[in-house]
């Protein structure tokens, strides 16, 4: 018995002496005597959400916030002290003597944040984190909530979180963006319900309206796409909007970012964006000006039209300057006026509109007709109930054509009413005559304006014209493309010519958030077109002294080649000195983001890696032999192989590619630009390139896929060698299996991988004539025939930098008057 007691005492002492960080367990409640210190976390009942201290991005400050507990990617949904961070790791969240929640650092007498609650008996209260993500302060019985975090949203709306206004307490609940990804402080962009007039949903930057949705049509806000489980409460106590999800299995959130974009996300192994606003040019608030309609299906220069009965205030209506005004001398007060229906539009800004919940559409029309100040009316009734009659008494703002919109009835004078009158589905003869005469007059005016603008902008248009001639006007272009020509909208029947505004809108004006990567000649952005199609946008840097020829090549070459293992180009843009390529978007990004990432490369089994290898080989074979042009890629590397949703390989970036004509087998260049580790020795040192140069690059890439290591890395036994040299030494010693990536697992066909290593070594042999062609490589990968023994590979020894660092990432050499700058990565 005594020995058992001794064991118990020893165990107890050991437990008491253990460091507090080891003993810490997640808390389920916050009480006056049990605060949350930096390092502790408070979790919800089902462990869906967690609350604790965190540092966003590269910030060193500490904030108390709520995040998803089970999602690997830490996603913050609520921040308490967003404008008053803790500057050290001694932050504490506690219930103070007044019963309110407070945050302080080292000095407890100086709170950094407070929940502003004053309670008579603080010891009777606890704080809990609910499974909705809401931090609540409760009476001990749990029957009454005295404070909740959902009343003070940050940049995120979660299911069951209300956005709106408490009319009794005047507490306004709206989303406010972070200042940046590193600073959750109160940003300049807000999103919430504007209760003035008919309640609407507004997205603003400062006081400027960026986007508007509303009013509520019974099941959603006007101007939004899709149907969601959402509702709105509008009574004497409150006006609020909330959305729901079915069960805990659906994880979703709505976020406003620092650039003023409202986005909806759902979690499915990663955050997937399923809506965002504004989505297009016409979505921006009041884009065309007052009394206009914006049609997103038209080119942005033609999207703006005046509503019936109005005329343009300025000749530049398409740019939204000035909008439209009532036609001169048009009488709309008891003088035979009427209404013209504008079908399927987003409901105009109803901040100053008048509402009647019980009036029919016909009574609404009569009410508007007898009131000379009434400019338009409509019924906003929809399934689930809605507003019956809405009338406007001033300018009509923010109208746009919308497939799921409502019919708007606009007041027009008697003349306009006659013009719009239908007779057998067509206008009357008088209307046609009036329109024809008006059209001729407008045409003459516009022709005159066009001539004046043309003379003024002559120099700039000549410059723009030259940018087209740079590609379309050369003999080289004609020879290569067989007469592929530009016009106003397309380059042959497959390649679109995008307008700059379309591309800028799709990429949120080339925002940092949309940036996918950067190369030597520019940046690549993700974009979403008006129809929801995702695209990748390659934008040539205006300040790069290089890249024009490379850009030209990419337009010419990739437009002429189509293969399942080549990335597909959708179009290009030449406008305002911009040179832009638009590609299909591949969500899995590039191969290097998998094979050189310690975590993600485990997702690639050997079977999947072999399919990727075979796909790259088939893509190269198509370029070398099966396309109508013989194309040498010249920059094949892991970052230039993209993966689609099924992890199929697609070769990308044809900026450095070259075409061989007829029986040409090799060429020479005095300008060698490429990526260190992938370039064949004859190209790097002599400027000679051929299809065997691509074969060499393929061999390097094959070894990287097998090993999960970069060719430019260093190795302990051979510190001045790269991956090729290391594999060669192991191959000679019969130990090549040691280089196989351990993340593949233990169950894999050893003989098949060893065969692939042998094929790779055959591809990287020193002399180009010894390397196989890609047709032979595909054959060797596809069957089990005997393989020749590889000869010594061409692996360049690392040279020491002036500092003695063998890993210096830039080498410059001069051989036979060929100057080459070999850079680690572009």
Of all residues in the chain, the percent with pLDDT exceeding 90 is 38
Sign of CA dihedral 513, 517, 522, 528: negative
Task: Evaluate whether residue 438 is within a structural domain.
Answer: no
Q: Which residue has the tokens 């001694």?
A: 90
Q: Which of 120, 152, 184 is the last residue before a domain boundary?
A: 152
Same domain, 803 and 660: yes
For residue 166, the model assigns a pLDDT of 92
**Domain CATH for 49:** 2.90.10.10
pLDDT band, residue 316 (cuts 50/70/90): low
Whether 395 and 478 share a structural domain:
no
51 and 183: one domain? no
pTM for the full predicted model: 0.52
Contact 410, 307 (CB under 8 A): yes
Instruction: Say if residue 512 is in the same domain as residue 578.
Output: yes
Residue 78: inside a domain: yes
Looking at per-residue pLDDT, the higher value among 372 and 303 belongs to 372
pLDDT of 340 strictly over 90: yes
**Better pLDDT: 193 or 562:** 193
The verdict on residue 793 lying in a domain is yes
Q: pLDDT-based confidence at 798, cuts 50/70/90?
A: very low
- Tally of structural domains, the chain: 5
Whether pLDDT at 516 is above 90: no
Taking 70 as the threshold, does the pLDDT of residue 213 lie above it? yes
Q: What is the mean pLDDT of residues 816-822?
A: 37
Smallest Cα–Cα separation from 580: which of 475, 659, 477, 501?
Answer: 501
Structural tokens at position 193: 């319900």
Say if residue 315 is in the same domain as residue 337. yes
Residues in the chain, how many? 826
The answer to whether residues 142 and 207 belong to one domain is no
CA dihedral 561, 562, 563, 569 (to 10 degrees): 100
The reply to whether 2 falls in a domain is no
Of 536, 558, 585, the residue at which a domain comes to its end is 585
pLDDT at residue number 21? 36
For the question of residue 398 being annotated catalytic, the response is no
**Helix H segments across 473-575?**
475-481, 500-506, 548-558
Does 221 map to a domain?
yes
Same domain, 527 and 539: yes
Q: Are residues 788 and 649 in the same domain?
A: yes
Planar angle of CA 102, 108, 112, nearest 5 degrees: 45
226 and 115, same domain (yes or no):
no
CA distance 615 to 466: 39
Q: Which residue among 545, 563, 585 closes a domain?
A: 585
Query: Distance between CA 324 and CA 306 in Å, rounded?
Result: 6
Indicate if 602 and 706 belong to the same structural domain. yes
**3-state SS assignment for residue 282:** helix
Catalytic residue among 257, 349, 635, 741: 635
Within-domain flag for 4: no
Q: 389 in the Ramachandran plot: left (φ > 0), alpha (ψ -120 to 50) or beta?
A: beta
User: Do the Cβ atoms of 251 and 71 come closer than 8 Å?
Assistant: yes
Does residue 266 sit in the same domain as residue 367? Answer: no
The pLDDT value given to residue 715: 55
Mean pLDDT across the stretch 614-626?
Answer: 91
- Compute the mean pLDDT over every residue in the chain, rounded to the nearest whole number: 79
Task: Residue 606: name the closest of 595, 590, 618 by CA.
Answer: 595
3-class DSSP state of 810? strand
- 140-175 pLDDT tens trace: 666 688 899 999 999 999 999 999 999 988 999 999
- What pLDDT does 193 receive? 93
**What is the domain range of residue 210?**
157-279
Residue 12 resides in a domain = no
Asked if residue 449 belongs to a domain, the reply is no
* Tens of pLDDT, residues 221-264: 887 865 567 888 888 899 999 988 766 678 999 999 999 999 98
* pLDDT tens string 698-756: 999 999 999 999 887 655 555 446 889 889 989 999 999 999 998 887 778 899 999 99
Terminal Cα distance for the chain, rounded: 73
**465 annotated as ligand-binding:** no
Cβ atoms of residues 221 and 228 within 8 Å: no
**Which of the 8 DSSP states describes residue 622?**
I
pLDDT of residue 610: 95
Neighbours of 334 (CB within 10 A): 9
């Amino acid at each position: 018995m005594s020995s058992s007691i001794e064991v118990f005492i020893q165990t107890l002492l050991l437990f008491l002496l253990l460091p507090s960080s080891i003993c810490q367990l997640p808390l389920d409640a916050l009480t006056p005597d049990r605060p949350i210190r930096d390092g502790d976390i408070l979790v919800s009942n089902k462990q869906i959400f967690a609350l604790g201290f965190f540092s966003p991005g590269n910030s060193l400050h500490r904030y108390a916030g709520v995040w998803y507990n089970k999602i690997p990617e830490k996603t913050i949904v609520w921040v308490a002290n967003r404008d008053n961070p803790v500057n050290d790791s001694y932050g504490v969240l506690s219930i103070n003597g007044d019963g309110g929640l407070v945050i302080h650092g080292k000095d407890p007498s100086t709170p950094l944040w407070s929940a502003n609650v004053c309670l008579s008996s603080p010891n009777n209260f606890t704080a809990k984190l609910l499974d909705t993500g809401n931090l609540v302060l409760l009476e001990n019985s749990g029957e009454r909530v005295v404070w909740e975090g959902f009343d003070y949203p940050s940049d995120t709306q979660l299911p069951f979180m209300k956005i709106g206004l408490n009319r009794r307490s005047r507490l306004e609940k709206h989303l406010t963006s972070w200042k940046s990804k590193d600073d959750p402080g109160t940003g300049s962009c807000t999103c919430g319900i504007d209760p003035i007039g008919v309640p609407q949903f507004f997205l603003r930057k400062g006081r400027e309206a960026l986007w508007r949705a509303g009013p509520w049509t019974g099941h959603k806000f006007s101007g939004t796409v899709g149907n969601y489980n959402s509702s709105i409460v509008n009574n004497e106590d409150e006006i609020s909007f909330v959305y729901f999800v079915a069960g805990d299995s659906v994880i979703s959130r709505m976020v406003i970012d620092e650039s003023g974009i409202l986005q909806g996300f759902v979690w499915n192994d990663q955050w997937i964006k399923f809506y965002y606003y504004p989505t297009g040019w016409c979505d921006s608030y009041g884009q065309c000006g007052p009394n206009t309609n914006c049609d997103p299906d038209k080119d942005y220069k033609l999207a703006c039209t005046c509503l019936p009965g109005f005329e343009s205030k300025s000749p530049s209506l398409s740019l939204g300057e000035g909008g439209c005004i009532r036609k001169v001398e048009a009488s709309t007060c008891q003088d035979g006026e009427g209404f013209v229906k504008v079908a399927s539009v987003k409901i105009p800004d109803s901040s100053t509109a008048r509402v009647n919940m019980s009036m029919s559409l016909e009574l609404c029309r009569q009410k508007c007709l007898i009131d000379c100040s009434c400019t338009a009316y409509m019924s906003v009734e929809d399934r689930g109930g809605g507003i019956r009659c809405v009338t406007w008494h001033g300018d009509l703002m923010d109208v746009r054509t919308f497939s799921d919109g409502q019919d708007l009835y606009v007041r027009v004078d008697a003349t306009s009413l006659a013009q719009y009158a239908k007779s057998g589905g067509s206008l009357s003869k008088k209307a046609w005559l009036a329109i024809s005469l008006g059209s001729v007059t407008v045409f003459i005016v516009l022709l005159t304006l066009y001539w004046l603008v043309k003379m003024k902008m002559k120099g700039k248009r000549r410059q723009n014209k030259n940018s087209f001639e740079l590609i379309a006007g050369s003999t080289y272009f004609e020879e290569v493309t067989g007469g592929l020509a530009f016009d106003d909208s397309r380059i042959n029947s497959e390649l679109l010519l995008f307008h700059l505004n379309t591309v800028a809108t799709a990429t949120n004006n080339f925002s940092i958030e949309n940036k996918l990567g950067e190369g030597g000649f520019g940046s690549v952005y993700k974009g979403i077109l008006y129809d929801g199609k995702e695209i990748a946008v390659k934008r040539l840097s205006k300040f790069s002294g290089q890249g024009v020829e490379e850009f030209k090549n990419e337009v010419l070459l990739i437009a002429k080649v189509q293969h399942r293992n080549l990335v597909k180009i959708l179009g290009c843009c030449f406008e305002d000195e911009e040179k832009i390529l638009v590609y299909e978007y591949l969500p899995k990004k590039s191969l290097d983001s998998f094979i050189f990432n310690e975590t993600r490369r485990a997702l690639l089994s050997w079977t999947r890696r072999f399919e990727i290898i075979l796909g790259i080989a088939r893509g190269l074979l198509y370029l070398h032999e099966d396309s109508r042009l013989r194309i040498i890629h010249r920059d094949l590397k892991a970052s230039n192989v993209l993966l689609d949703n099924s992890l199929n390989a697609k070769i990308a970036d044809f900026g450095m590619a070259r075409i061989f004509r007829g029986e040409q087998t090799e060429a020479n260049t005095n300008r060698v630009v490429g990526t260190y580790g992938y370039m064949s020795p004859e190209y790097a040192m002599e400027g000679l390139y051929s299809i065997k140069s691509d074969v060499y690059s393929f061999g390097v890439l094959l070894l990287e896929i097998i090993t999960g290591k970069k060719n430019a890395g260093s190795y302990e036994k051979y510190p001045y060698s790269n991956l090729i040299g290391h594999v060669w030494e192991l191959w000679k010693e019969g130990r090549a299996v040691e280089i196989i990536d351990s993340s593949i697992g233990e169950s894999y066909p050893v003989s098949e991988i060893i065969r692939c290593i042998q094929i790779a070594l055959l591809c990287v042999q020193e002399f180009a004539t010894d390397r196989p062609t890609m047709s032979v490589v595909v054959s060797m990968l596809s069957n089990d025939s005997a393989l020749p023994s590889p000869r010594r590979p061409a692996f360049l020894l690392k040279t020491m930098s002036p500092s003695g660092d063998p890993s210096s990432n830039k080498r410059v050499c001069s051989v036979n008057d060929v100057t080459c700058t070999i850079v680690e990565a572009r």
